[in-house]
Chain A
Amino acid sequence: MAVFKHPQILIASNLADGEVVFLGQSGWERDHCRARVAQNAEEAAALEAAGKRDVSANRVVDVYLADVEIGRDGAPTPLHYRERMRVKGPSVRLDLGKQQLPGSAA
């Protein structure tokens, strides 16, 4: 198991439409602000296990944990610029992706 350094969320792609999704308290969420945040290695392992189950159940693909930091509002923000891109959408088309949704925190 990788060394746990930062809080983590579980990211995947929805099988049917390919949209980026995040494992939340009661299923997969399309808004990363609703992602369940693992605060330690055990919680991260639980997230991963849930992700693997949903890969087997053909709900999602390409599942992995991403390091995040927690903002004052409690929302997780990925530490790496690649995942920051995934929670928003293309930086060159702000009218596309999650960032264009009404009320988006991205």
Chain B
Amino acid sequence: MTAVDLRVAQRPNAPVTTYRYDEYDAAFVRERVAEFREQVLRRLSGALTEEEFRPFRLMNGLYLQLHAYMLRVAIPYGTLTARQMRRLADIADRWDKGYGHFTTRQNLQYNWPKLVDTPDILEALADVEMHAIQTSGNCIRNVTADHFAGVAPDEIEDPRPTAEFLRQWSSLHPEFSFLPRKFKIAVTGAEHDRAAIMVHDVGLRILRNERGEIGYQVVVGGGLGRSPFVGKVVGDFVPREDLLAFLEAIMRVYNRFGRRDNKYKARIKILIHEKGIDEIRAAVEAEFAAMDRSVFSHDPAEFERIASFFAPPPYETLPETSSALRTAKLETPAFANFVDVNVSAHKIPGYAIVTVSLKPIGGIPGDATSEQMRVLADASERFGFGEMRVSHEQNIILPHVKQDDLFALWRLLEPAGLATANAGLVSDIISCPGLDYCSLATARSIPIAQAISKRFADMSRQRRIGKLGIKISGCINACGHHHVGAIGILGLEKKGQESYQITLGGDPTFSASIGEILGPGVTADQVPDVIEHLVDFYLAEREEGEAFIDTWRRIGHVRFKDVLRREGEDGADI
């Protein structure tokens, strides 16, 4: 059965740059759709109670939220083809309300699907090798990766083959289908961490040793939520051939010792915190030594087979820089700003990585309309080998654009509202859906992001401020990563009103740190004023080229607290 009218471009000659399902994958996903279709029918007929049905729907990514059901679609390691993006757009139009929300775990959420339609939606996803499995529940969730994977100049190795290897290992793994809590893995192969591996349950950093061999630094026990922790190194250099067995050992230790009596203490970070990393490392090493590792033995041929799916596209041989780009920048200042802010260096001469911001000034972070999705699909096909990435910052990446094509790409993106030149700047705000959609939220987060974005609407001011990560969560579960925002904002309920707690000094990279609370909560109306005071103080205090986090670390938290206190005394009412 084909669930939707196909409007996808069949491109048999397209280069393979992403993993393609084999017969086993395709059959498995189809079987799961059929199984869920049956479960939905049984629920609607009353054969299953809600209590019985809830685990089944969660295993298929379907939540019940504030206004409607919500379907979370997995985008493994954030990689999407044009064909898949068009299908996401078609689903948004046919079964949702014409848009989708890209999340901080590189997934996509539909906010309005009906339960009765969900099997058809899953069928439509299966047509393009997508699903919603393991996007919820106490299992190993969608594995995330550096969104510049395969194209970053600072990369040791493309993390996507490893991420795909782990996806296959963890999908429906019988030992890990009922973990104490959810479990999130992120992988990077670069010298700079763009995947926030230090705040995942397991973070993997690909390294090369002195002998030129590839291995993994394994970090465990990071996480955000109500008890944030930076992960700790449990393995300094795990050879590739031992990776699955080592991770299996970690999971077994967690499965055995992780708490199940209290959901708030059930994440592996709490186990690490309570037992200490040395005791956990000893337990993992003991399990690793005792286990039958033959079943996890590395199969180089299989790894190479998977890696071959991520082969570089057929790049042209080009000069390092583009004269056409230089000319266009001189002639069109708005384009020049876009290039300066949203375009990153590529490992191949003459090419560039483009970040398409889903954060228009005053817009909803991470939302894209179906029409915008189609523009992105078109853009990727015309200018980027038909491939896109979703970043955990809730933007879309076009990873293979010729510098010569950047101006034409910008002209395609601009009328679609996709050319906001703010990647990494103060208005490129990470925000969870908050109380506008989420049933767990204690306060709204999107309107706060919108208000800050509007306050800093002047793009030249944003560029003067430079890179600055603001992250907003609408509850303590921290889907908006507020703990690791240079400026973090947490929405809470205080005496029946929305209240916002601000933190400073968070860092999601290899130098990870958890932000420190600035002071008592403020009202929604006060948040933009507070942020502006903090930014102004930073601008006054920073040294040449110094990022906000570095100024904060140099002069200390107290100085920032003091400036707000003084402003309050002066009548600024903050």
Q: Give the B-binding residues of A (Cβ under 8 A).
A: 13, 15-20, 55, 57-58, 61-62, 79-82, 85-86, 89-93, 96-97
Assembled-state Cα–Cα distance A90/B450 (Å): 14
Judged by a CB distance under 8 angstroms, whether B560 is at the interface is no
Q: Is the CB of A85 within 8 A of B436?
A: yes
Judged by a CB distance under 8 angstroms, whether B237 is at the interface is no
Instruction: Report if A58-B43 is in contact (Cβ < 8 Å); known contacts: A85-B436, A92-B364.
Output: yes
| Chain A: CB-nearest residue to B63 | A18
Judged by a CB distance under 8 angstroms, whether B437 is at the interface is yes
Instruction: Report if A91-B436 is in contact (Cβ < 8 Å); known contacts: A55-B50, A58-B44, A81-B498.
Output: yes
Instruction: Report if A58-B46 is in contact (Cβ < 8 Å); known contacts: A18-B114, A92-B447.
Output: yes
Instruction: Report if A18-B115 is in contact (Cβ < 8 Å); known contacts: A61-B64, A80-B496, A89-B67.
Output: yes
Assembled-state Cα–Cα distance A11/B535 (Å): 43
Assembled-state Cα–Cα distance A79/B97 (Å): 29
Query: Across the interface, which residues of A come within 8 angstroms of B68, CB to CB?
Result: 13, 17-19
A55 → chain B, closest Cβ, in Å? 7
Contacts A15-B115, A90-B67 supplied; 5 other A-B pairs, CB < 8 Å: A17-B115, A20-B66, A58-B45, A85-B66, A96-B97
Q: Give the A-binding residues of B (Cβ under 8 A).
A: 43-46, 50, 64-69, 97, 112-116, 364, 435-437, 444, 446-447, 450, 496-498
Return the contact of A17 from the options B97, B114, B446, B497 (Cβ within 8 A): B114
| Chain B: CB-nearest residue to A55 | B50
Query: Across the interface, which residues of B come within 8 angstroms of A85, CB to CB?
Result: 66, 435-436
Q: Is the CB of B46 within 8 A of A91?
A: no
Query: Across the interface, which residues of A come within 8 angstroms of B497, CB to CB?
Result: 81
Query: Across the interface, which residues of B come within 8 angstroms of A20, CB to CB?
Result: 66-67
Chain A interface mostly? loop
Instruction: Report if A16-B435 is in contact (Cβ < 8 Å); known contacts: A80-B496, A91-B447.
Output: no
Report how many A-B pairs have Cβ atoms within 8 Å. 69
Query: Across the interface, which residues of A come within 8 angstroms of B65, CB to CB?
Result: 18
| Chain B: CB-nearest residue to A100 | B97
A5 → chain B, closest Cβ, in Å? 13
Query: Across the interface, which residues of B come within 8 angstroms of A80, CB to CB?
Result: 496
Q: Is the CB of A86 within 8 A of B436?
A: no
Q: Is the CB of A19 within 8 A of B444?
A: no
Query: Across the interface, which residues of A come within 8 angstroms of B69, CB to CB?
Result: 17-18
Instruction: Report if A82-B46 is in contact (Cβ < 8 Å); known contacts: A19-B67, A92-B364, A96-B97.
Output: no
| Chain A: CB-nearest residue to B66 | A86
Assembled-state Cα–Cα distance A86/B439 (Å): 10
Query: Across the interface, which residues of A come within 8 angstroms of B437, CB to CB?
Result: 90
Assembled-state Cα–Cα distance A20/B67 (Å): 6
Query: Across the interface, which residues of B come within 8 angstroms of A86, CB to CB?
Result: 66-67
In the complex, 18 of the A-B residue pairs with CB atoms within 8 angstroms, ordered by the A residue number, are A15-B115, A17-B69, A18-B69, A18-B113, A18-B115, A20-B66, A20-B67, A58-B44, A82-B66, A86-B66, A86-B67, A89-B67, A90-B436, A91-B444, A92-B364, A92-B444, A96-B97, A96-B112
Instruction: Report if A16-B436 is in contact (Cβ < 8 Å); known contacts: A61-B50, A81-B498.
Output: no
Query: Across the interface, which residues of B come within 8 angstroms of A13, CB to CB?
Result: 64, 68
Query: Across the interface, which residues of B come within 8 angstroms of A90, CB to CB?
Result: 67, 436-437, 446
Assembled-state Cα–Cα distance A37/B364 (Å): 36
Q: Is the CB of B44 within 8 A of A15?
A: yes
Query: Across the interface, which residues of A come within 8 angstroms of B44, CB to CB?
Result: 15-16, 58
Query: Across the interface, which residues of B come within 8 angstroms of A92, CB to CB?
Result: 364, 436, 444, 446-447, 450
A78 → chain B, closest Cβ, in Å? 12
Assembled-state Cα–Cα distance A93/B44 (Å): 30
Q: Is the CB of B43 within 8 A of A18?
A: no
Query: Across the interface, which residues of A come within 8 angstroms of B436, CB to CB?
Result: 85, 90-93
Query: Across the interface, which residues of B come within 8 angstroms of A16, CB to CB?
Result: 44, 114-116
| Chain B: CB-nearest residue to A95 | B97
| A18, A61, A79, A90 pick with most chain B CB within 10 angstroms | A18
A36 → chain B, closest Cβ, in Å? 21
Assembled-state Cα–Cα distance A97/B450 (Å): 20
Query: Across the interface, which residues of B come within 8 angstroms of A57, CB to CB?
Result: 46
Assembled-state Cα–Cα distance A55/B51 (Å): 11
Query: Across the interface, which residues of A come within 8 angstroms of B112, CB to CB?
Result: 18, 96
Q: Is the CB of B115 within 8 A of A62?
A: no
Return the contact of B64 from the options A55, A62, A81, A93 (Cβ within 8 A): A62
